[in-house]
Structure 1
Amino acid sequence: MSEEQLIFTLALQHVPKIGPTTAKKLIAHCGSAEAVLKEKKSNLLKIDGIGAITIEGLFDTEHIEAAEDELRFIKENDIGYSYFTEHHYPERLKHCIDGPILLFQSGNINLNNKRIISIVGTRKITTSGIAFCEKLVEALAVFDPVIISGFAYGTDITAHKAALKHNLQTIGCLAHGLNQIYPKAHKKYVADVEKHGGFFTDFWSSDTFDRNNFLKRNRIIAGLSEATIVVESAEKGGSLVTADIANSYNREVFAVPGRTTDSQSVGCNNLIKYQKAHLLSNPLDIPYLLNWQLDASASSATKQAVQKQLFVELEEDEKIIYNYLKDNDKQLLDVIALQCQIPTYKLAGLLLNMELKGVVRPLPGKLFEVI
């Protein structure tokens, strides 16, 4: 992208009433951000879904002036950026209708051919939540995933630190421009994160700090990843918003269950109860359900050890059922009982356990399938 094209794209991004979805619609119709800003207003109003209120102020010169100021910041601070149609724009984020038209970055980010997961949760993480998060990252390290989070207190920074400990790439998605770090207490981690990953944001250096920015940034956390993991959450919280966004993107969501009396487990328990997330009881449920395979370079002993752990949560009869459904798509309860030679009364209980473990799901008409 040329510098001139970047200025026009920044200017379009600066228009208050035009969000990423509308911007993409305008660009698709006109061909580029420059063409949008040079198009006649009457022609823009002919586009389906575009009204006078939407493009109000679109042609104000202040947007170009603000874009030129932001471009100076980008150049002076060596800020990376990617346009939503470019090859180096994160692939999974390309498929999110509300993904930013411009994504800014710092550090040494490399998402090529990478397994990418997001780990989110409460800022008031408990001791057991910290322990599970650290165990989770340690167990997954052999698969070399990229760990995404929001660089906030609690679960976020626990996930980032665990990734750094195991030499994994980790990326913080920020709710502000790259000219600052929030919370300030986390500045001490910035250099290590940028060395082993970096930061993403779609906010400008001139954007005011606002609580709503955190909810907006959550779509990037969910959009970058193939799966979002909620470690702990109260009944309400930003991590539940991230889980809902991930579901809307048809991405996998996992939640760590907790005791019904624990306030920081209510959100996770509800995600599981309302079938918005897989129950995550063992860290290796993740590669099992995402069908991750170890790289060819991994030793045979490592592969066997991991494979053994992947099936540790399934009883022998459950393995038989799982393998049958995996090879035969969705099947009726009676057919599964006949083919697996398991009595129907016993099979019903086994399928319920497997559903709770997040490996099968029921369908209308007494059908079941592997997730």
Structure 2
Amino acid sequence: MVPGIGHIGAKRLIDGMGNAVDVFRLRKEIPERIPEVSQRVIEALDCPQAIARAEQEYEFIRKNRISCLSFYDEAYPSRLRECEDAPVVLFFKGNADLNSLHILNMVGTRNATDYGTHICASFLRDLKALCPDVLVVSGLAYGIDIHAHREALANELPTVGVLAHGLDRIYPHVHRKTAVDMLERGGLLTEFLSGTNPDRHNFISRNRIVAGMCDATIVIESAEKGGSLITAELAEGYHRDCFAFPGRTSDEYSKGCNRLIRDNKASLLLSAEDFVQAMGWNMPTTLSEKVSVQRSLFIELSEEEQKIVAILEKLGNLQINSLVVEADIPVNKMAAILFELEMKGVIRVLAGGMYQLLN
């Protein structure tokens, strides 16, 4: 709430000062600890109205039993934490595990056709059979979003709606019943304070959370321009997998998906089985099927490398995002460690970006 300080700047201040309280309490010491911070920012922190607004929001979330997840909380979505522009604070109401082992988002046009709604229904029905612990994320909007949420509920899959406004309202109002049902199996998530209107630019901001907190983005029907294409681009920027269902070249709401596939920004998707195999989510996990590693005396592994090996021994083949969650190691550091393990002949990369231990 301090003018001129965004998410990236706020995190730098907190990291430099040790905690958010000291950013305000010891603001005059900031130049000594973080020399690159301008005097304008330090003066802006003398902001009693921001403190008053925070107190007001605290009372709102306490009264309504809303979880306030700071960037450093264990329950904060760990995949999102690795994104540079991740929110400092999220507000969540529900019971979903935002760090579930398997998380995907389904997005698309607000003008869903029978083709798009049929894909939502059949895809999630089949996905439930193949991978029953998936968390389904979308934006509670008209069209594909709301169908994804409803079909997830119908198939008893947890589903989370990421909102472009505060938790004091539901927009659009006609989706209120679905939103209430989601609180029982999933939840509602937002970065916005109560009283925030669902303005256009908030939806674009919301899309980065949808993309960043998931392993993969699936686009189902999109015109040549639309919010779902923005989500797909954000997912690509965050190094997440992106998939799109194709459509006829003459269909207005398949042009965006077809273009994503043509431009190699999304993989062609035809079924839930295709998706699960591409993500490696159906890899064998029984003890008899797991691959064990026989490390020679000449291979020395660091503590973090040994930690990753132990995880792969326990859980089987995993993608980098799952390893980041399990090991609690930042994704950029994880990538470097995995490269070293590959060079040492301890692991190899399979189709779909899966990492497998070698004998």
**TM-score, normalization: structure 2?**
0.75
Partner of 1:192: 181
Asked if residue 17 in structure 1 is aligned to residue 4 in structure 2, the reply is yes
TM-fit CA distance, 1:18: 1.5
What's the CA shift string for 1:10-56, capped at 9, x where partnerless?
Answer: xxxx1232221111111111111111112345734984764355556
Identify the match of residue 235 of structure 1 among 224, 240, 258. 224
SS of 1:139's equivalent in the other structure is: helix
Give CA-to-partner distance per residue, 1:328-352, whole Å, 9 cap, x none. xxxxxxxxxxxxxxxxxxxxxxxxx
Cα offsets for 1:95-132 (capped at 9, x unmatched): 11111111111121224543110000010111101111
Query: Partner residue of 2:154?
Result: 165
- Supply the RMSD in Å over aligned alpha carbons: 2.0
Aligned pairs, how many? 287
1:88 aligns with 2:40: no
Question: Cα 1:23–1:293, aligned 2, differ >3 Å: closer, same or farther?
Answer: same
1:43 paired with 2:30, answer yes
Aligned CA distance change for structure 1 residues 265 and 55 (closer, same or farther; 3 Å): farther
2:258 & 2:50 partners in 1: Cα distance? 46
Distance 1:45 1:219, change over 3 A: farther
Instruction: State how far apart, in whole Å, the 2-side matches of 1:157 and 1:68 are.
Output: 33
**Bigger mean CA deviation after superposition, 158-167 or 204-213:** 204-213
2:19 is aligned with 1:32: yes
Choose the corresponding residue for 2:116, options 106, 121, 129: 129
Specify the SS of the correspondent of 1:284: helix
Gaps in structure 1 of 5+ consecutive residues: 1-13, 298-368
Q: 1:34 to 1:129 in 2, by over 3 A?
A: same
State the SS of the aligned residue for 2:250. coil
Give the structure 2 partner of residue 140 of structure 1.
Answer: 127
Q: Is the 8 A contact 1:17 1:56 kept in 2?
A: no
CA deviation digits over 1:219-273, x for unaligned, max 9?
Answer: 1111111000000111111111111111111100001111222111111111111
Task: Give the match for residue 177 of structure 1.
Answer: 166
CA distance in 1, matches of 2:6, 2:178: 32
Whether 2:92 is the aligned partner of 1:105: answer yes
TM-score (normalizing by structure 1)? 0.73
Which of the pair has more CA radius of gyration? 1
Deviation at 1:87, TM superposition (A): 1.3
In structure 2, the partner of 1:356 is: none
Please tell me whether the aligned partners of residues 166 and 196 of structure 2 are also in contact (alpha carbons under 8 angstroms): yes
2:53 is the alignment partner of 1:79: no
Q: What is the CA–CA distance in structure 1 between the aligned matches of 2:40 and 2:252, rounded to whole Å?
A: 44
Seq. identity, %:
43
